């Protein structure tokens, strides 16, 4: 709650920026994808096309696409998308198109070609046909790609997603450096070898940083996930208004744009649209040291990524060549680009010819062994040690004394697709909970950042709140089990008589305030309830599995695994009317076992109470099970209504029989242990 006490909001004026800045700085655009099956190429190319069409001088932009799955299909899709971009980008800028991701532009009812302008109607129809043709082209069997790419495909021969050399291809180069042309488009797949650590997304981001440092070395970096398209073409100008501000130059490390989603389901049935989180918590953080780094939709200052402290701003390079080598590696060209970054030098247009010359050097810094005995991931770049590399990296910046800002232009800067379905959403939440606990048990724990660093106390509390995603599930599972235990053993843990009104009043007041936030944001009571329900379901399932994962890691039994969130091609319109769209789905993953067990446990406890199977006369009257424990158990059952339906559902809408059997065995074991404690 303390995080929300001093909210702050930024209002940016891009027109004033253009009046006060002599020349806009270059910006490197990073797009990351890792699996062409979980992240379909059609989603990735729409994100790339929206970035290529930004309202920003094209010769100041360079788009780097990191394909961590070494997929020829992704490369082929980008190759074809670049041909379409030659026509799409001028069309967007000529007619001031607002949404520049084609698959959203052509499906939006507001963008239907209803105008009387014959020239526009013809161009609109031509663009629509070209995009449909592009979609058909990339929806092909991967085995047919060699014939389509001919000689360019040979680099993908004999490669495997976890065993291949570095592949860097310049798909499009703005050789003439024209302002209204297409930005550079560069494909990167870093080297991977079996049993060699690659540090998941953080490793890919560091390779992008090094390769871009050799080619364009822009002072600012925008990173987006492959499913986050540009919703406001002036987004870069809004972010530069923050980062180029006289105060921002000395204090602000990054500008984070909030995540908002398209094709949203009515009333947020899975509780993952994060609307309230960004509106209230995000604004509150902006009034402290700044919002957390969210992993996507974020504008970074390159010199901060290179490890610069706020106190060293404007002092140029203070590192010797030996220190540069120790931190940044053996590449002389990379070390030179780092020095240029620290000293504020920007490549002149005549220097950008190195786009085609730097590939050989770039292949070196994209190798898996380049980071060995360097500071990458420890002192510079995206931080290693957690699968939530975004929060980890942002935390290290805040610990150094940097601030961050929330960038919220109107219309919103980016839109993406929220996970749909139980397994996908749970997998994502498990990864987050696991990563948060990795941060807590690492050397960049917020506690150390407050004691030994420059993390403010209230910012520390905010970080501990988000890291609590990993610890909170343990408390929730314990309380849910304790409620069932008290009913089964006819005992109590909640106060009786007037004492129960104190915790009840606290809970009711907080729930009413939380409901006010939803209503004030234009959301429904149903959306509020769905989020309340998922705040019980998600931690007890995904969060608890994340805690077990960390426990096994700390014991040296197993290591964490980065689960890629599946990106589904969403329906055409928001608020889909498909009656099954908001239904919870299940699979045989262990992530659903804790919740199934908790539900069976509560049902068993209520059954024992209703049919009088509780032990009698064991404890005195003051210690017998009261109505409060029963109401808590009933509340958990109501929250677990999707699981209750899943017990009787079929197909993907039903909990697998194996999971139900495992949950039943654990429930029987728990009841037996409860009975044993009573007899003892």
Task: pLDDT band for 142, please (50, 70, 90 cuts).
Answer: low
**Mean predicted confidence (pLDDT) in 520-543:** 92
Task: pLDDT band for 597, please (50, 70, 90 cuts).
Answer: very high
3-class SS of residue 477: helix
pLDDT for residue 460 is more than 90 = yes
Between 149 and 437, the more confident residue is 437
Question: How far from 366 is each of 22, 192, 222, 329, 412, CA to CA, in Å?
Answer: 35, 9, 19, 12, 34
pTM over the 0.85 mark: yes
Burial annotation 562-595 (CB, 10 A radius, 16+ → b, else e): bbbbbbbebbeeeebeeeeebbbbbbebebbbbb
Which candidate, 124, 47, 48, 134, places its Cα nearest to that of 92? 124
pLDDT for residue 323 is more than 70 = yes
Radius of gyration of the chain (CA): 27
Burial of 205: CB neighbours in 10 Å, binned 0-12, 13-18, 19+:
buried
**Mean predicted confidence (pLDDT) in 234-252:** 92
Predicted pLDDT of residue 145: 66
Convert the pLDDT of each residue in 105-130 to its tens digit: 988 655 566 666 788 889 999 999 99
**Mean predicted confidence (pLDDT) in 573-601:** 82
Please give the mean pLDDT across all residues of the chain: 88
Contact 605, 487 (CB under 8 A): yes
The CB-based long-range contact list for 359-363 (8 Å cut-off, 24+ gap) reads 359/168, 359/170, 361/214, 361/331, 361/333, 361/334, 362/166, 362/168, 362/210, 362/211, 362/214, 362/215, 363/165, 363/166, 363/168
**Mean predicted confidence (pLDDT) in 74-87:** 94
Which candidate, 610, 596, 627, 597, places its Cα nearest to that of 486? 627
pLDDT for residue 562 is more than 80 = no
Convert the pLDDT of each residue in 274-304 to its tens digit: 888 888 888 899 999 999 999 999 999 999 9
Question: How far from 36 is each of 23, 82, 167, CA to CA, in Å?
Answer: 38, 18, 16
* Rounded distance between C-alpha atoms, residue 479 and residue 652, angstroms: 30
Predicted pLDDT of residue 490: 87
* Rounded distance between C-alpha atoms, residue 278 and residue 259, angstroms: 8
Predicted pLDDT of residue 353: 46
Task: pLDDT band for 352, please (50, 70, 90 cuts).
Answer: very low
* Rounded distance between C-alpha atoms, residue 58 and residue 477, angstroms: 53
Q: How many other C-beta atoms lie within 10 A of the C-beta of residue 157?
A: 9
What secondary structure letter does DSSP report for 541? I
pLDDT for residue 19 is more than 90 = no
**Mean predicted confidence (pLDDT) in 388-411:** 94
The number of residues in the chain equals 680
Q: Please, what is the Cα angle at 289 between 413 and 523, to 5 degrees?
A: 45
* Rounded distance between C-alpha atoms, residue 541 and residue 59, angstroms: 48
* Rounded distance between C-alpha atoms, residue 101 and residue 85, angstroms: 11
**Mean predicted confidence (pLDDT) in 553-562:** 84
pLDDT for residue 9 is more than 90 = no
Contact 626, 492 (CB under 8 A): yes
For residue 404, what are the β-bridge partners?
A: 254
Catalytic, 68? Answer: yes
**Mean predicted confidence (pLDDT) in 615-628:** 66
Predicted pLDDT of residue 355: 66
Percentage of residues of the chain with pLDDT beyond 90: 62
* Rounded distance between C-alpha atoms, residue 38 and residue 626, angstroms: 49
For residue 223, what are the β-bridge partners?
A: 30, 298
3-class SS of residue 496: coil
Q: How far from chain centre, in Å, is Cα 105?
A: 24
Task: pLDDT band for 634, please (50, 70, 90 cuts).
Answer: very high
Q: Are strands 414-415 and 61-67 parallel, antiparallel or unpaired?
A: unpaired
**Mean predicted confidence (pLDDT) in 41-54:** 96
Q: Angle at which helices 641-648 and 627-639 pack, to 10 degrees?
A: 60
Contact 655, 646 (CB under 8 A): yes
Predicted pLDDT of residue 666: 96
* Rounded distance between C-alpha atoms, residue 302 and residue 397, angstroms: 12
* Rounded distance between C-alpha atoms, residue 15 and residue 374, angstroms: 42
Q: Which of 35, 36, 67, 68 is catalytic?
A: 68
Predicted pLDDT of residue 273: 84
Phi, psi at 190, each rounded to 5°: -70, 160
Convert the pLDDT of each residue in 262-271 to its tens digit: 877 888 888 8
Burial annotation 384-404 (CB, 10 A radius, 16+ → b, else e): bbbbbbbbbbbbbbbbbbbbb
Catalytic, 225? Answer: no
pLDDT for residue 654 is more than 50 = yes
* Rounded distance between C-alpha atoms, residue 397 and residue 410, angstroms: 28
Convert the pLDDT of each residue in 462-505 to its tens digit: 999 988 888 999 999 999 999 999 999 888 888 877 888 888 99
* Rounded distance between C-alpha atoms, residue 398 and residue 448, angstroms: 12
Convert the pLDDT of each residue in 412-450 to its tens digit: 999 988 777 778 889 889 999 999 999 999 999 999 999
pLDDT for residue 141 is more than 80 = no
Q: Point out the least confidently predicted range of 193-197, 321-325, 327-331, 625-629.
A: 625-629
Convert the pLDDT of each residue in 359-394 to its tens digit: 778 999 999 899 999 999 999 999 999 999 999 999
Contact 494, 626 (CB under 8 A): yes
Between 573 and 659, the more confident residue is 659
* Rounded distance between C-alpha atoms, residue 599 and residue 163, angstroms: 44
pLDDT for residue 66 is more than 80 = yes
Q: Which of 36, 67, 268, 390 is catalytic?
A: 390
């Amino acid at each position: 709650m303390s995080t929300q006490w001093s909210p702050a909001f930024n209002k940016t004026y891009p027109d004033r920026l253009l009046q006060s800045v002599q020349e806009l700085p270059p910006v490197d655009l990073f797009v990351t994808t890792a699996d062409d099956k979980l992240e379909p190429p059609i989603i990735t190319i729409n994100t790339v096309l929206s970035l290529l069409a930004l309202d920003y001088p094209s010769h100041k932009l360079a788009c780097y696409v990191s394909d961590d799955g070494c997929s020829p299909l992704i490369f082929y899709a980008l190759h074809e998308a670049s041909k379409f971009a030659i026509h799409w980008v001028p069309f967007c800028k000529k007619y001031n198109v607002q949404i520049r991701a084609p698959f959203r532009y052509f499906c939006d009812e507001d963008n239907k070609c209803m105008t009387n302008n014959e020239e526009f109607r013809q161009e609109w129809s031509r663009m629509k046909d070209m995009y449909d043709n592009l979609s058909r082209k990339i929806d092909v069997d991967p085995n047919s790609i060699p014939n389509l790419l001919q000689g360019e495909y040979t680099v993908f021969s004999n490669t495997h997603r976890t065993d291949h050399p570095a592949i860097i291809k310049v798909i499009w180069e703005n050789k003439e450096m024209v302002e209204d042309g297409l930005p550079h488009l560069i494909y990167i797949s870093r080297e991977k070898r079996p049993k060699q650590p690659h540090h998941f997304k953080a490793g890919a981001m560091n390779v992008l940083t090094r390769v871009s440092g050799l080619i364009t070395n822009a002072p600012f970096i925008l990173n987006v996930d492959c499913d986050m398209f540009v919703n406001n073409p002036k987004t870069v100008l809004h972010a530069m208004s923050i980062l180029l501000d006289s105060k921002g130059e000395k204090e602000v490390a990054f500008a984070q744009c909030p995540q908002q989603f398209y094709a949203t389901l009515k009333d947020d049935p899975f509780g993952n649209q994060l609307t309230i989180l960004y509106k209230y918590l995000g604004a509150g953080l902006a009034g402290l040291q700044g919002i957390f780094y969210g992993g996507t939709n974020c504008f970074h200052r390159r010199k901060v990524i290179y490890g610069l402290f706020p106190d060293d701003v404007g002092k140029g390079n203070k590192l010797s060549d030996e220190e540069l080598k120790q931190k940044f590696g053996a590449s002389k060209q990379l070390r030179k680009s780092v020095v240029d970054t620290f000293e504020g030098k920007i490549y002149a247009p005549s220097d950008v010819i190195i786009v085609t010359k730097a590939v050989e050097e770039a292949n070196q810094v994209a190798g898996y062994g380049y980071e060995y005995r360097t500071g990458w991931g420890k002192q510079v770049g995206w931080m290693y040690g957690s699968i939530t590399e975004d929060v980890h990296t942002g935390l290290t910046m805040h610990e150094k004394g940097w601030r961050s800002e929330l960038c919220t232009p109107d219309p919103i800067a980016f839109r993406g697709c929220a996970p749909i379905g139980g397994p996908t959403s749970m997998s994502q939440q498990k990864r987050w909970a696991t990563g948060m606990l990795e941060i807590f048990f690492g050397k960049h724990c917020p506690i150390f950042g407050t004691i030994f660093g420059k993390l403010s106390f209230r910012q520390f509390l905010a970080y501990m709140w988000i890291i609590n995603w990993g610890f909170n599930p343990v408390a929730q599972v314990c309380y849910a089990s304790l409620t069932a235990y008290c009913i089964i053993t006819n005992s109590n843990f909640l106060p009786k008589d007037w004492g129960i009104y104190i915790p009840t009043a606290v809970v009711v007041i907080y729930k009413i305030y939380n409901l006010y936030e939803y209503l004030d944001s234009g959301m429904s009571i149903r959306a509020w309830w769905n989020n309340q329900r998922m705040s019980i379901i998600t931690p007890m399932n995904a969060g608890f599995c994340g805690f077990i994962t960390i426990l096994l890691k700390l014991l040296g039994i197993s290591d964490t695994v980065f689960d890629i969130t599946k990106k589904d091609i969403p329906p055409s319109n928001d608020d889909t009317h498909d009656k099954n769209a908001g239904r919870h789905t299940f699979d045989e993953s262990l992530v659903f076992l804790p919740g199934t067990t908790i539900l069976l446990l509560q049902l068993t406890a209520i059954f024992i109470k209703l049919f009088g199977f509780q032990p009698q006369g064991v404890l005195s009257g003051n210690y017998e099970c009261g109505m409060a424990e029963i109401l808590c158990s009933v509340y958990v059952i109501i929250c677990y209504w999707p699981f209750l339906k899943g017990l009787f559902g079929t197909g993907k809408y039903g909990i697998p029989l194996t999971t139900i059997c495992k949950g039943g065995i654990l429930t029987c074991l728990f009841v037996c242990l409860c009975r044993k404690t009573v007899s003892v």
